[in-house]
Every structure is written in C-alpha cells, then in structure tokens.
Chain A
Amino acid sequence: MQQSVQRGLRAGALAGLLLVGLFFADYGPANNLITIARWFALDGNTWSKLIGAILLVVLGAVFGGLFGAIVRPWSPSLFQSVLVGFATGLCWWVVLVLLLSMVVKHIQQSPYGTLFWLVTSLLYGLVLGSLYWQFETKGGGHESRMV
C-alpha cells in the first residue's frame, strides 16, 4: 500500500512540475500560474506565481497519491496505468477547473481556455500514469537502445 502511494506521490509531483514548466511558458510569463493561485484565493500579491507553482506540485502529488492508492490492488500494465492516469487527469479537470475555478470562483473561460485546461489536465494524467508504470517496473534505471 505504502509503496504504491509513494510511487504515485512521486510520479504526481513530477507531472505537476512538468505542468509548472508548461504554465510558465506563456505571454506573461507564467500568468497561468497566477490562475492556479486564484483558484485558492491566494493571488493578488508578488508571490502569486510561486504560490501557483507550489500548489501545482502539491496538487500533482495529492492526485498522484490517490492514483497510487487506486491501482494498489493490482500491478497495472502500461495500458492500465495510462488509462487510470487519463481518468485521474479528467478528475483533475472536473474538480479543479470545472468545479473550483468555474463554479466556485466564477472564472470565465474562453473556448481556447477550456480546450487548454482540458488538454493540460489530460496530459498530467498521461504523464502520471506513464511515470508510475516506469517507477514500478524499471525503477528508471535500465538503459534504452536506439538503433
């Protein structure tokens, strides 16, 4: 139990870190990180971007931990891991973007914004599932070969 949750926490935090990088790369820069802070009413100060970045990593780890707890009963194949990862990404989108951002905080989304948050949420899930499987099966230590 503990090991799978730990793997999930690690994979989720790394997937969250990737999102920090993606959200930094905008015209702001990093205006999307302020949006994350706004979800939790922590924006409006000079640290908003940093708070948004930390929140993403922490939320990533939390969702990753839940992912690890869900897949614990069986040792998932890559397909299963990615599938549950996508489902976790979809939950991320529903909970954080739809409920917290749009319903609770009344932050309006443009059509592009809706597409952007959906795609990045699913990407989080894909990276989470892929990394989790990698941590579980290989420990990230094997060499790969390109011929």
Chain B
Amino acid sequence: MHLSSSPSEPPPVGGEVPSVGPSRVVLSERSLILLACVRIFVGLLWFQQLAWKMPPTFGGLRRYVENEAQHTFVPGYSSILNNVFLAHFSLLGAGVWIAELLVGITLLFGLFTRFGAMLALLLSVQLYIGLAYAPGEWYWTYGMLTLTSLVLVAVPAGRRLGIDQLLAPRMQHAASTSRLARLASWFV
C-alpha cells in the first residue's frame, strides 16, 4: 500500500483509465488526519495501561495472567502461562511492560507505526485468547482491540501527525538500493 499527498498524476494518454486491477482508494487530507487521531488515541489506550503495571513489581499484572491461566479457551495455553510465564513473572512483567511502552510510543508519535501496530496485534490476540471468555469480560472488548490493531497494520496511519511522514519518503528512496530499507519501509 502506498500513500502520497502529491497532486494527482497526469491522466493516461488517450484519456482512458485502465480497467485492469482494483481501483485506487483516495482519501482526503482530512480523512488522513482523522486516521492519525485514531492512531494517537489507540496509542494512548496502550500507554495508559502502563500505569497499573509499573516496574519493579508490575502491580496488577499477575492477577490478570492468573485469570488468563484459568479461563483461556486454547488447550495447553494454561500450562504455558503457569509453568513458563508465572514461574518467571519478573521477566514476563518486564517484557509486557516494555512491549506496551513500545506500542504506546510508536502509535502516539507515529514512529514505525505498523511495527507498533503489529506488536499491538500480537498483544491483543494474546489477551483475546486468555481473557475474552473470562467471567465479567465482554469478549468483544478484546475482539475490538484486535481489529483496531489490524486496521493500523493495514493502513499507514503514521504518515500524518507522525514521524513516519518524515521517514516514509527517505525509506522508500533507500529501498531501491537496500534490502533492509525495503523491509523497514514496510513498517512506516
């Protein structure tokens, strides 16, 4: 997917629009800004969740992981949570905290937004697997979280009101000569 704010391309020679392939989707500047605002609010959502799991104790995180271990709908996931994650809780806590900080920062600042969104997708799917069918939870909470992350993976939302707006043209330019830049350009 490519996003550009350049003026319209010149019309095809002969005035005919090629009929092969899907039609282009055009978003107005206002729609892109709105999309950027959605990205920022989703970033805030993740950033705020750092508050109740601050290091070094990672506060309420243990209760949630224990809840996941009890109510996951995936067979065998419970024993992974109990024997691996809860057994090494400090490591898990640090990992989750750093991952959520990364998601929050990348989405709030629009810095490698798609990378942050992919990380958010991973965390959301994990939460869905563990908590969607726990008592008192509405399964769509984590479903919506997953879908929102998926949207931000699909659409480059950091190219307005974000640092990706600076990075994208540079990455795309470098992508023609460097494989690493080609890979990195997909994350902006």
Contacts and interface: CB of A to CB of B under 8 A. Distances in A.
A and B: interacting chains: yes
Interface of A: 18, 21-22, 25-26, 78-79, 82, 110-112, 115-116, 119, 122-123, 126-127, 130-131, 134, 138, 140-147
Given A79-B166, A123-B40, A146 B24 contact: yes
Contacts of B30: 140
A146 B155 contact: yes
Given A111-B54, A141-B29, A25 B44 contact: yes
Chain A interface, DSSP helix/strand/loop, else mixed: helix
Given A25-B41, A25-B44, A119-B47, A144 B163 contact: no
A138 B5 contact: yes
Nearest to B44: A22
Contacts of A130: 160-162, 165
Contacts of B105: 119
Given A127-B161, A130-B165, A144 B47 contact: no
A48 to B, nearest CB: 21
Contacts of A146: 1-3, 24-27, 155
Nearest to B111: A126
Residue among B27, B41, B50, B165 having the largest count of chain A Cβ atoms under 10 Å: B165
B105 to A, nearest CB: 7
B79 interface: no
Given A119-B108, A130-B165, A143 B40 contact: no
Given A22-B44, A126-B161, A142-B6, 8 more contacts: A25-B44, A26-B48, A115-B50, A126-B163, A127-B161, A144-B4, A147-B1, A147-B24
Contacts of A78: 165-166
Contacts of B51: 112, 116
A130 B48 CA distance: 24
Interface string B100-120: 000011001110000000000
Contact of B109 (A112, A122, A142): A122
A82 B27 contact: no
A145 B3 contact: yes
B8 interface: yes
B28 interface: yes
6 contacts: A112-B54, A130-B162, A140-B30, A142-B5, A146-B1, A147-B25
B184 interface: no
A111 B37 CA distance: 26
Interface in B129-150: none
B166 A123 contact: no
B117 to A, nearest CB: 16
Given A112-B50, A143-B26, A123 B108 contact: yes
